Structure 1
Amino acid sequence: MTSLAFHRRSFLTGATALGAALSLPTSRLAAAVAEQVTPRPLPPPITAAERSARLARAQQLLRANNLGAMLVESGPSLDYYTGVQWWRSERLTGVVIPAEGEPIIVTPFFEQPSIAEQLEVPAEIRTWQEDDEPLKLVADFLRERRVTGRPIAFEETNRFFLGDRLAAQLPGTRIVNANAVVRAQRMIKSAAELALMQAASDITIAAFRTAHANLKTGMSGSDINAAIVAATTALGGSGAGNLVLINEASALPHGSKKPHSLARGDLVLIDGGCSVHGYQSDISRTFVFDRTPTPDQRKVWDQVHRGQQIALAAARVGASAGSVDDAVRKAYTSWGYGPDYKLPGLSHRTGHGIGMEGHEPVNLVRGETTRLAPGMCFSNEPGIYLPGRFGVRLEDCFHMTASGPKWFTTPPPSIDQPLG
């Protein structure tokens, strides 16, 4: 959910919400909502010292896994290690981290001043001209460091053409997955990272509450989204994006493009989040607008609420990530849903990893054997969907501590108090 990446929520609400936010009367609504909130102090961004410590740890892991070096191209992991926030294009900008010694940044010549401005760790910037092969720069550096006889690790989201072209420069050199380094580090959040995620979560739930208090008959999903975005921005969050799903659309986890105007008795599902200094939140709430919920709505809401508690109880240090999903699915099956991923029931995983990205490894999903450890962060969102009728999703994120899981935001107590 970074500002530089396409996010699933923007598919259904982003473009229309931006347009609505600039038109009347939605602009007046957004302005009014923004005036109702008070900005709060934010934790500081990740320091250069923490990024340097990450690099040192990466090199330890490279040596422990007999890897010669690691290439990380533009994206969250480049930011994680260097502070450089850059987009992906056909032109390579990335960091090459050797098992020993100082890393280098490879970037086009004309981008060097911009990269130098952002770089927060000691690293030489090596540039290439438009008629050069940037992977030759990488290969030459690896030869200088005498590591071409060992495997070279690629961050798992690096694009294919980079490996293909490096292999042409270094025939016989093995290119392998860098998960033993990057994933091992990014899955475990530091105290500073957790503080930023807590701030993002606090902003998102406050924005939801503010928008909820301003709901009126006739509002569109775009209106509601614009109100949340306005509150989020006023509170200090960035990159806000929200799904607003009403009635039958709430049974589709990522929604529908069909327009709908808010009416009394509508069931509304909001799923959103924001970023604080590059760290994400992800929260969902489901409620009935301006009318007492029906018995079926109340029943399903209560079951999802119970599902969240079952998931949290299963999230114990040393348990497999998949066992959390298993526990929820077992309960849902006993209540007549599914089985497995069938509908009506829970058609998606119980949760996903979260940190610098709204979705990142690993997931709370069947078959995931990764063991839960302190510092890991996940969403907890075991929704129940009844096709053609409605769906309920409650989503709160938690992080693992030595004594077990801890919420970033606490689930609401009931459908009658849906925002807590």
Structure 2
Amino acid sequence: MSNRPAPITTAEREARIARLREGLSGIGADAILLGSTMSLTYFTGITWHPSERLMGALVTRDGLTYIAPGFEVSRLETMPRLDGDIAAWEEHESPTELVGRIVGNDKRLALDAGLPYGIYAALAPVFSPERLVNGGPLIASLRAIKSSAEIALIQYAMDATLEVHKRVHAMIEPGVRASEVISFIKDGHRELRNSGTTFAICSFGTATALPHGVDYDQTYQEGDIILIDTGTIVDGYQSDMTRTYVKAEPEAEFARIWHLERAAQQAIFEAAKPGVAAEELDHVARRLFEAEGLGPDYRLPGLPHRAGHGLGMDTHEEPYIVRGNRAPLLPGMCFSNEPMLVIPGRYGVRLEDIIHMEDDGPAWFTHPGKSPTEPFA
């Protein structure tokens, strides 16, 4: 756990709130309500388990007010957070009416896209639907651009996951069960970063053709194709990395598909320039595969899903590397590069590394693998 980056500072969170306020005019809103979502953590530092009770933060043009159940106020007061007023509501009271009184008559309220529908349904009679605005795109655009502090935390998490992958590669032997590998991954992340494993997929043989694996335990047999996909979280920031490989001499056709996958990864990396539309990276991979007789589109054998997703406080967030997303790539964006190839009933090859955009182009958090039998650079 040496060289652990500093956590996000109060000053950085205050700057985030300032940018959020600046964006309200652009979406025609006077305030924005954050629910018990990762965006609440992003802007205020509070992590709160969501429930049927509204706990969140109301950001107006000149204020920050936490909306909290009355019996939870004492807990809220103990939590590290940005300074702000606390508006409590009791169990028999309506928290959405409280929000309405603070925002004021004839004002428009933007909503965190992560708020449950039940909160929207309770707000609609208070504000009327035409006074409720989708705040999701504004929040996503702000969260998509990572600061140097955020990138350092992601790198720290990615370094741990890379080391865990290397340890997994060394420990897999005939007879080991997928459940044992997953336990090993969890222990590794805990040892290296004192952090939990956010997800872990271990697939052997034909199960690798299912992008998210199978629901039953598998046993590794000598010569099986291996797919490992996992990540951890450090101070709220995620890692995500996938390797597919064999521990014996690969069959010629598997080796060909592996190298096609790696070539598509590289083509995406080289196309990732500032200003390029996110969807172009997906197009680049599909064009390469179609030239080799795979696809087209989402047809199999081929690439059955988007070529990547944003990474930050959520494992999947903006920018999504998918057809139709014409948003330009910008410095500070972080996203996965994983144009998986699936050969139905036989195997799948997913190589996933994360890119972060710099002023002059892309950079890797972890470098791609070398070959079907050498999964690390």
TM interval, short-chain normalised = over 0.9
2:72 aligned with 1:72: no
| Aligned-partner Cα distance in 1 for 2:46–2:131 | 27
The one-letter code of the counterpart of 2:368 is P
Counterpart in 2 of 1:122?
A: 83
Counterpart in 2 of 1:34?
A: none
Does the CA contact (< 8 Å) of 2:340 and 2:350 recur in 1?
yes
Alignment of 1:217-366 (within 5 A): 217-236=174-193, 238-240=195-197, 241-289=199-247, 291-366=248-323
Q: Report the Cα offset of residue 163 of structure 1.
A: 1.9
Counterpart in 2 of 1:45?
A: 7
CA gap of 1:366–1:284, structure 2 versus 1, over 3 A, is same
The one-letter code of the counterpart of 1:299 is R
Alignment of 1:364-375 (within 5 A): 364-375=321-332
CA gap of 1:172–1:221, structure 2 versus 1, over 3 A, is closer
Counterpart in 1 of 2:160?
A: 203
Q: Report the Cα offset of residue 129 of structure 1.
A: 1.1
Q: Report the Cα offset of residue 112 of structure 1.
A: 1.1
Counterpart in 2 of 1:21?
A: none
Deviation readout 1:24-79 (Å, 9 max, x if unpaired): xxxxxxxxxxxxxxx43311211111111111111111134431000010010000
Q: Report the Cα offset of residue 172 of structure 1.
A: 6.6
Tell me, what secondary structure is at the counterpart of 1:411?
Answer: coil
Pairing partner for 1:409 from 362, 366, 370: 366
Counterpart in 2 of 1:24?
A: none
Tell me, what secondary structure is at the counterpart of 1:269?
Answer: strand
Identify which range, 176-185 or 49-58, moves more after superposition: 176-185
Does the CA contact (< 8 Å) of 2:110 and 2:132 recur in 1?
yes
Does the CA contact (< 8 Å) of 2:261 and 2:340 recur in 1?
yes
| Aligned-partner Cα distance in 2 for 1:384–1:246 | 16
Counterpart in 2 of 1:168?
A: 125
Name structure 1 gaps, 5 residues minimum. Answer: 1-38
Counterpart in 2 of 1:19?
A: none
CA gap of 1:171–1:215, structure 2 versus 1, over 3 A, is closer
Q: Report the Cα offset of residue 400 of structure 1.
A: 0.8
Tell me, what secondary structure is at the counterpart of 1:181?
Answer: helix
Does the CA contact (< 8 Å) of 1:248 and 1:388 recur in 2?
yes
Pairing partner for 2:170 from 180, 195, 213: 213
| Aligned-partner Cα distance in 2 for 1:284–1:104 | 41
Q: Report the Cα offset of residue 384 of structure 1.
A: 0.6
Deviation readout 1:98-152 (Å, 9 max, x if unpaired): 02x2210011111112222224211111111111111111111112xxxx43421
| Aligned-partner Cα distance in 2 for 1:172–1:265 | 59
Q: Report the Cα offset of residue 169 of structure 1.
A: 2.0
Does the CA contact (< 8 Å) of 1:322 and 1:369 recur in 2?
yes
Does the CA contact (< 8 Å) of 2:157 and 2:239 recur in 1?
yes
Tell me, what secondary structure is at the counterpart of 1:284?
Answer: strand
| Aligned-partner Cα distance in 2 for 1:67–1:268 | 50
Does the CA contact (< 8 Å) of 1:51 and 1:120 recur in 2?
no
Does the CA contact (< 8 Å) of 2:108 and 2:133 recur in 1?
yes
Q: Report the Cα offset of residue 313 of structure 1.
A: 1.3
Deviation readout 1:169-216 (Å, 9 max, x if unpaired): 234751111135311210100111000011111010001111221222
CA gap of 1:387–1:346, structure 2 versus 1, over 3 A, is same
The one-letter code of the counterpart of 2:99 is V
Tell me, what secondary structure is at the counterpart of 2:136?
Answer: coil
Counterpart in 1 of 2:65?
A: 104
| Aligned-partner Cα distance in 1 for 2:170–2:360 | 36
| Aligned-partner Cα distance in 1 for 2:192–2:2 | 6
2:53 aligned with 1:94: no
Percentage of pairs with the same residue: 38
Q: Across the two proteins, how many residue pairs are aligned to each other?
A: 376
Does the CA contact (< 8 Å) of 2:189 and 2:196 recur in 1?
no
Q: Report the Cα offset of residue 335 of structure 1.
A: 0.5
Deviation readout 1:317-362 (Å, 9 max, x if unpaired): 1111001000110110111101110001100100001100000122
Pairing partner for 1:134 from 82, 95, 105: 95
The one-letter code of the counterpart of 2:168 is A
| Aligned-partner Cα distance in 2 for 1:331–1:354 | 25
Pairing partner for 1:379 from 333, 336, 340: 336
2:346 aligned with 1:389: yes
RMSD: 1.3
| Aligned-partner Cα distance in 2 for 1:336–1:172 | 50
TM-score of the two chains, using structure 1 as the length reference: 0.87
